[in-house]
Amino acid sequence: MSELPKPVVEQGAFSQTGLDEIKKRVTGNHVELLLEYPTVYIVYDQDKPNAYQVYVGETNDIEQRTQQHLNDDVHVRKDWQYLADSPDSQLLVIGHPHFNKSLTLDIENNMMLYMSGVDSVKKLNNRRENQQNKYYTANEKGPIFSAIWRKLHRVNPNIFPIEEIVRDSALFKASPFHELTKEQDNARNRILRRIKTVFRSKEDHQLILVEGEAGSGKTVLLSTLFYQLWQLGEDLNYTEFKTANNYLLVNHDEQVKVYQNIAEKLGMQVANVSKPTTFINHHSPDEQVDVVLVDEAHLLWTQGKQSYRGHNQLKDIMARAKLTVAVFDVKQMLKTEGYWTPGEVRKLESQVKQQGNLIQFKQQLRMDASEATTTWIRNLIDRRVVTKIPQDSKYELKIFDDPVAMYQAIVAKSQDETHGLSRILATFDWPFKLKDKAIDMVTVGELSLPWNLQLPLAQNQRGQAKHLAWAEQHQTIGEVGSTYTIQGFDLNYSGVILGPSVKYRNGKIVFDPSVSQNVNATRKRTLPNGTKKHVDNELLPNELNVLLTRGVHGLYIYAVDDELRAALLQESKHK
CATH of residue 286's domain is: 3.40.50.300
Q: What pLDDT is recorded for position 245?
A: 87
Averaged pLDDT score across all residues of the chain: 90
Cα 135 to chain centroid, rounded: 28
pLDDT confidence band for 365 (50 / 70 / 90) = confident
Residues 102 and 224 grouped into a single domain: no
Burial class of residue 279 (count of CB atoms within 10 Å of its CB; 0-12, 13-18, 19+): buried
Q: What pLDDT is recorded for position 235?
A: 58
Report if residue 31 sits inside a domain: yes
Q: What pLDDT is recorded for position 472?
A: 87
Report if residue 172 sits inside a domain: no
Q: What pLDDT is recorded for position 575?
A: 55
Tell me: pLDDT of 287 over 60. yes
Q: What pLDDT is recorded for position 153?
A: 97
Cα 265 to chain centroid, rounded: 16
Contact 414, 476 (CB under 8 A): no
Residues 334 and 383 grouped into a single domain: no
The residue range of the domain holding 245 is 182-360
Q: What pLDDT is recorded for position 543?
A: 96
pLDDT confidence band for 168 (50 / 70 / 90) = confident
pLDDT digits (tens, 9 = 90+) for 51-83: 999 999 999 999 999 999 999 999 998 889 999
Residues 393 and 516 grouped into a single domain: yes
Q: What pLDDT is recorded for position 469?
A: 82
Report if residue 416 sits inside a domain: yes
| C-alpha distances in Å from residue 196, one per residue of 8, 245, 248 | 44, 15, 19
pLDDT digits (tens, 9 = 90+) for 410-422: 999 998 877 779 9
Residues 348 and 422 grouped into a single domain: no
Out of 25-29, 375-379, 467-471, least confident range: 467-471
Q: What pLDDT is recorded for position 215?
A: 81
Tell me: pLDDT of 450 over 60. yes
Mean of pLDDT values over 368-375:
94
Using alpha carbons, select from 450, 455, 448, 470 the residue that is nearest to residue 403: 448
Which of these three, 360, 384, 401, is where a domain ends? 360
Residues 77 and 210 grouped into a single domain: no
pLDDT digits (tens, 9 = 90+) for 391-448: 999 999 999 999 999 999 999 999 887 777 999 999 999 999 876 678 899 999 999 9
Q: What pLDDT is recorded for position 461?
A: 63
Tell me: pLDDT of 380 over 90. yes
Residues 350 and 381 grouped into a single domain: no
Contact 332, 294 (CB under 8 A): no
Contact 516, 358 (CB under 8 A): no
Residues 340 and 381 grouped into a single domain: no
Q: What pLDDT is recorded for position 240?
A: 54
Out of 76-80, 132-136, 192-196, 520-524, least confident range: 132-136
Residues 387 and 417 grouped into a single domain: yes
CA distance 26 to 277: 58
Report if residue 500 sits inside a domain: yes
Out of 221-235, 274-288, 508-522, least confident range: 221-235
Which of these three, 341, 360, 379, is where a domain ends? 360
Residues 141 and 254 grouped into a single domain: no
User: Against a cut of 0.75, is the pTM above it?
Assistant: yes
Mean of pLDDT values over 212-222:
88
Report if residue 177 sits inside a domain: no
Residues 201 and 336 grouped into a single domain: yes
Tell me: pLDDT of 497 over 80. yes
Residues 133 and 86 grouped into a single domain: yes
Residues 234 and 336 grouped into a single domain: yes
Tell me: pLDDT of 357 over 80. yes
Tell me: pLDDT of 460 over 70. no
Tell me: pLDDT of 273 over 90. yes
Widest Cα–Cα separation across the chain: 81
Domain of residue 403, CATH code: 3.40.50
CA distance 535 to 522: 7
pLDDT confidence band for 385 (50 / 70 / 90) = very high
Mean of pLDDT values over 311-321:
95
pLDDT digits (tens, 9 = 90+) for 7-43: 999 999 999 999 999 999 999 989 999 999 999 999 9
Q: What pLDDT is recorded for position 508?
A: 97
Strand ranges inside 161-283, DSSP E: 206-211, 246-249, 273-274
Tell me: pLDDT of 130 over 60. no
CA distance 190 to 357: 9
Q: How many domains does the chain have?
A: 3
Q: What pLDDT is recorded for position 538?
A: 94
Which of these three, 161, 191, 223, is where a domain ends? 161
Q: What pLDDT is recorded for position 363?
A: 81
Helix axes 253-266, 218-234, angle to 10 degrees: 30
CA distance 10 to 324: 47
Strand ranges inside 126-225, DSSP E: 206-211
Report if residue 429 sits inside a domain: yes
Report if residue 174 sits inside a domain: no
Report if residue 170 sits inside a domain: no
DSSP state of 440: P
CA distance 38 to 98: 10
